[in-house]
Amino acid sequence: MREGGQGLRGFVGEQIRSAQQAGRTPTTLDPDREATTLLALVDGLMLHVLIGRLDAATALASLDYHLDHIFSRPA
């Protein structure tokens, strides 16, 4: 399980790096930290949906909000 999590975190980090190189996300972001934060957010949102604290639409809106933060156009 640990290897799978590291693999996914690495994949997400690489996607963020690629977006930085393409000018689609700020270069000031730390791709590895953003990947860790994004995956933790997804885990937490999923848990809150499963236990009934959030509805799926609210969880998705929160995820979209964070993705917009990561993939905003650099100023």
pLDDT tens sequence across 3-37 = 555 799 999 999 999 999 999 999 999 999 999 99
Say what the pTM is. Answer: 0.83
pLDDT range class, residue 72, cuts 50, 70, 90? confident
Q: DSSP string covering 10-67, please?
A: HHHHHHHHHHHHTTSS-TTS-HHHHHHHHHHHHHHHHHHHHTTSS-HHHHHHHHHHHH
